[in-house]
Structure 1
Amino acid sequence: MHATMMNYPLTTNHLIARAAKLFGEVEIVSQAPDRSLIRHTYADLHARSRALAHGLLTAGLQPGDRVATLMWNHHAHMEVYFGVPMAGGVYHTLNLRLSPEDLAHIVSDAGDRYLVIDDVLLPLLAKFGGRPPFERIFVVRWTDQLVPEGLHEYEGLIGAGAPADWTPPPANENDPIGMCYTSGTTGRPKGVVYSHRATVLHSLASALPDSLDLSVRDSLCPVVPMFHVNAWGLPFTATMVGAKQVHPGPHLQPDALLDLWAKERVNVSAGVPTIWMGIMKLVAQDPGKWQLQPNLRMVVGGSAAPESMIAAMDELGMQVIHAWGMTETTPLGSVARLQPKHAQLPAAEQLKIRAKQGIAPPFVEMRVVDDQGREVAWDGEKIGELQVRGPWVAAGYHGGVEAADKWTEDGWFRTGDVVTIDADGYMQITDRTKDLVKSGGEWISSVALENALMGHADVAEAAVVAVPHPKWTERPIAVVVAKPGKQLDEAALTAYLAERFEKWWLPDGYVVREEIPRGATGKFLKRQLRDELVSWFDDKPG
């Protein structure tokens, strides 16, 4: 017997065509550099994406050619998301916060042919040194400045639009559509190439009620940049369901975001914890200033959100939704949502569940493996490295880089996260393998200490790193930032932690800083801190 179902290709072309047909009047709002709001619709997005695809093919784009972007979140970046794959090309989002060396390496490694860039970001081209390596550069104009000689206007590329009877090249669901590079915190950034099929399936899973619960009823503002794992795939998911999209452009300051959310009735947003900390501070200072949507959902990823932050947001009428993922997982790998059986638990227990990274969506499988390569039970206690597999999990890096290190022989991706998974399937990250503190043969979780410290009334941020010790191999040192107007007392911090951890877990010292260095995606640069503190114990008695 054979199945009698149609072999219908899963492509992003379908997502944008459907949005134009069913939700053509729904808005896509872009905040310009001068903070004016530019309004388009899904009908516009479809027409302009078709025009871009037609223009690129006319300019000589060949199947698989890479089109790089240096852009903030706005309508033109979305047009690249849909228009480049429609033409058979591969968009490549460049992280404008990376170092010049990493940017030059990434562009060379990807083999980018064209570049689309915001005019306000033209100075970044100097980062590449000498002549930019792109065959053609198309400039999205937001200001009155003229396009430099030798570059081309983006609107000129789109031209008069695609002819009404023009048909895009046929697309296979396994064709590549886009690529992102890892953040490079553990070495050179590595390219991950996404397919139509993976992106569509990821969008379907992301929209589920027990995932991010997106629908046509929502107004979404992705604060996470579109150059960071496709803004966590949210532009695709929102397009699939017809949700209104509100893009902040370069204005990511808390007050600018709150103004935008209030004006455009945003009820869903997404970003890293540092963004939400700034939002939380301003709303707490002046609760009545912004008329925000009730129970505004705030998806948090990139690093763990402390229980204290989740609880504080609840009190302000904003719901934190914890999620986890990586560049290699497109990125959604898990979401922490309460289930009906949790309704009778005390509030403190519910909070602990919400502070976990959550359960995997359909088709993503997880397992935990100890340092001997043995799979461990899901009991919420045993730790090990998280390994995952699924239809939107990468099977290798662009060019085959380091594949032997990151994928097991039986096809699972090694995340490098040290986790527990409880009997209900809720995963919780205890650390990165490289960030665990090995003291006297036992492991200490830097993440657990950090989250506890950030629950202290005087601490704004905290990073805990492993520092070499002559007797214990390694010991934890905490780097802390005080809240405005507060003074940090080391003895008080130690006493606070002593109520929560065994004595041997407590940091051997504290370093008070005005800020903690961060990488291009907002994560703490622990490698830099370890290098700075490597000689901490050299002149101290053991």
Structure 2
Amino acid sequence: MRSTMQNVPLLTSRLIEYAGTVYPGSEVVTWGAGGPRRSSFADVARDCRRLANALRSLGVDGDQRVGSFMWNNEEHLELYLGVPAAGAVLHTINIRLFPQQMVYVVNHAEDRVVFVDNSLAQPFSALLEHTPLVEHVVVNGPVPDEVRQALGGDGRRQVHDYRALLDAQPDTFDWPVLDENDGALMCYTSGTTGNPKGVVYSHRSNLLHATFCAGSNSLGLSQASRALAVVPLFHANAWGLAYASMISGASVIMPDRFLQPEPLVAMIASERVTCGGAVPTLMTGVLDHLDAHPEIDVSSLNNVIIGGSACPPALMHAFHDRHGITILHGWGMTETSPLGTVAIPPIGAEGEEYWEYRHSQGRLALHVEARLIGADGTRQPWDGESVGEVEVRGPWITGSYFREDDPATQEKFDDGWLRTGDIGSLTPDGYLTISDRAKDVIKSGGEWISSIDLENTLMGHPGVQEASVVGVPDDKWGERPLAVVVPAEGQQPDVTELRDYLETRVAHWQVPERWAFVTEVPKTSVGKFDKKVLRARYAEGALTVLLPEKAERTLS
């Protein structure tokens, strides 16, 4: 027997019309040098229809790829909604990739139209010599004549003004009825090893994912919410925040290029932000600014979901204890749309148990199945102790990469499951704890040392701003941890002090012997510690490594 239910496809166009009609007064606020500018959801819906007409005028009449090289702002959100609804695929280009990687992804995706913020127009123009398929560049905002000429390539491409292009179009559009499994958006991985790899999200996967993100077991959005979208729209599908806001009617505050702690805190205070999404390194700066300016009222802010890399427990406790703000751990990756878990403790959890749940990566979403595969290839139990590589599958998990036939890449998939490369454990009630990346776990004398655990513990020391731990070769043990530390402002912790601090918090044999102090830990394009760079610097002798005599005890 088949159901009697109507088979109506899940499409992005429905989000546009729903949000613009049911929540017409909700806002999209874009921060600027002269203050915020505001548009209602009704305004955004109208501009999405104008955008769809504009795309047709540029020759986009099917599933061609449309690139965006932009910050988080109203116009980028309109692209996020309107391009897929019109039947094309929006490729959000990571503006923090290396230039050669940007060229690679634009050519690999076959972008023919690219939308660019005016503040990014000059660096983007430098790429165009190597991206022959780009036919149209649409600039959001004014640019000098010489930049416009560089974008046009002496007539080889047409250059348009975003607002003028849209204002010339009618504000009605008949949205096409698409297959909900067609591509809607695409993001590329950050390319820490090899070329970036394309992940293509469908209309269906995005709407299912956004419904989870809006719910009470995730971001908990409602019409009363005011969400600060710090996480870029080009980073792992913006964690679903853009679409989840349309579903729930939550107003969205877009920081544009103003991503420093001072303007972010100003946004929270003036716009009465209630929630948001960010990465740990950025929130560390926000915490420092709040501590230095206790007079700023951020009492509206309830929670911020953190992902991209593990959040140090010390950062969670500092926000909770000093500012009454809940830092929610989330876990996922570009390949998982990205949210797969959110660390909301179960009802009744108190005291130490409550914080154990908070420190985990969180509880699995309904549509994310997970399993643990041990080093011997066997499936591990959900007992909170057994560890293995986390493999997942579900309707918002990618099953392949775009135009990728490299056999090494195919090994990322195991009989329909995505191999995440994360090593972790699962509790009987479905809470995931990541102990390390498979490539970053330190294999020392037949035992595994979690670099994440050491980093989080070190960052609990008041004299440490950041700490990254990598495995380096050791003649006796195979690998041993190297701790790379950024001292907190005004602090000068020494190795003995930090080793003694670790001795009371981790197993004696896990304490690093090798230490280096730096002014900044190198980071990837999405704000993660770039451990391959640290390992390379160590191998090249570019780090000043301290090996105190006291450390010899660890080796015995």
TM-score by length of 1: 0.95
Counterpart of 1:466 (choices 437, 462, 471) is 471
Alignment-derived partner of residue 156 in structure 2: none
What are the superposed Cα offsets for residues 361-398 of structure 1, whole Å, 9 maximum, x if unpaired? 11111111101211101111111100011100001000
What are the superposed Cα offsets for residues 45-67 of structure 1, whole Å, 9 maximum, x if unpaired? 11101111111112211311011
In 2, the alpha carbon distance for the partners of 1:430 and 1:177 equals 33
Alignment-derived partner of residue 31 in structure 1: 31
Aligned partner of residue 220 in structure 1, secondary structure: strand
Counterpart of 1:302 (choices 308, 332, 353) is 308
The share of aligned pairs that are identical, in percent, is 40
Give 4+ residue runs of structure 1 displaced > 6 Å after superposition: 143-147, 535-542
Q: Is the 8 A contact 2:121 2:143 kept in 1?
A: no
Q: Is the 8 A contact 2:237 2:334 kept in 1?
A: no
Amino acid at match of 2:360: K
Residue pairs, 1:447-486, within 5 angstroms: 447-486=452-491
Shift of 1:535: 6.6
Q: 1:209 to 1:538 in 2, by over 3 A?
A: closer
Alignment-derived partner of residue 231 in structure 1: 238
Does residue 1:105 correspond to 2:104, yes or no?
Answer: yes
What are the superposed Cα offsets for residues 203-222 of structure 1, whole Å, 9 maximum, x if unpaired? 11111111111111100111
Q: Is the 8 A contact 1:47 1:161 kept in 2?
A: no
Q: 1:487 to 1:83 in 2, by over 3 A?
A: same
Q: Unaligned 5+ residue runs, structure 2?
A: 153-158
Shift of 1:144: 7.5
Shift of 1:330: 0.5
Alignment-derived partner of residue 508 in structure 1: 513
In 2, the alpha carbon distance for the partners of 1:11 and 1:507 equals 52
Q: Is the 8 A contact 1:307 1:352 kept in 2?
A: no
Amino acid at match of 2:493: L
In 2, the alpha carbon distance for the partners of 1:135 and 1:366 equals 43
Q: Is the 8 A contact 1:215 1:241 kept in 2?
A: yes
Number of residue pairs the alignment of both structures matches: 535
Alignment-derived partner of residue 433 in structure 2: 428
Shift of 1:157: 2.4
Amino acid at match of 1:159: D
Shift of 1:159: 3.1
Amino acid at match of 1:303: S
Aligned partner of residue 168 in structure 1, secondary structure: coil
Which stretch of structure 1 is more off in the superposition, 140-149 or 412-421?
140-149
Q: Is the 8 A contact 2:106 2:131 kept in 1?
A: no
Counterpart of 2:443 (choices 422, 438, 445) is 438
What are the superposed Cα offsets for residues 269-308 of structure 1, whole Å, 9 maximum, x if unpaired? 11001111111111112212x2223452111111111111
Counterpart of 1:405 (choices 411, 421, 425) is 411
Q: Is the 8 A contact 1:199 1:392 kept in 2?
A: yes
Q: Is the 8 A contact 1:468 1:534 kept in 2?
A: no
Which stretch of structure 1 is more off in the superposition, 203-212 or 193-202?
203-212
Amino acid at match of 1:438: K
Shift of 1:147: 6.8
Amino acid at match of 2:312: P
Aligned partner of residue 326 in structure 2, secondary structure: strand
Q: Is the 8 A contact 1:211 1:335 kept in 2?
A: yes
In 2, the alpha carbon distance for the partners of 1:501 and 1:468 equals 21
Shift of 1:162: 2.7
What are the superposed Cα offsets for residues 466-492 of structure 1, whole Å, 9 maximum, x if unpaired? 001111110101000000110121011
Q: Unaligned 5+ residue runs, structure 1?
A: none
Aligned partner of residue 148 in structure 1, secondary structure: helix
Amino acid at match of 2:195: R
Q: Is the 8 A contact 2:107 2:131 kept in 1?
A: no
Aligned partner of residue 340 in structure 1, secondary structure: coil
Alignment-derived partner of residue 156 in structure 1: 164
Q: 1:163 to 1:271 in 2, by over 3 A?
A: closer
In 2, the alpha carbon distance for the partners of 1:325 and 1:422 equals 18
Q: Is the 8 A contact 2:48 2:81 kept in 1?
A: yes
Amino acid at match of 1:356: S
Q: 1:386 to 1:489 in 2, by over 3 A?
A: same
Q: 1:428 to 1:113 in 2, by over 3 A?
A: same
In 2, the alpha carbon distance for the partners of 1:161 and 1:538 equals 62
Does residue 1:50 correspond to 2:54, yes or no?
Answer: no
Alignment-derived partner of residue 7 in structure 1: 7
TM-score by length of 2: 0.93
Residue pairs, 1:92-171, within 5 angstroms: 92-128=91-127, 130=129, 132-133=131-132, 134-141=134-141, 148-149=148-149, 150=152, 151-162=159-170, 164=172, 166-171=173-178
In 2, the alpha carbon distance for the partners of 1:126 and 1:454 equals 40
Q: Is the 8 A contact 1:16 1:240 kept in 2?
A: no
Aligned partner of residue 416 in structure 1, secondary structure: strand
Q: Is the 8 A contact 1:233 1:331 kept in 2?
A: yes
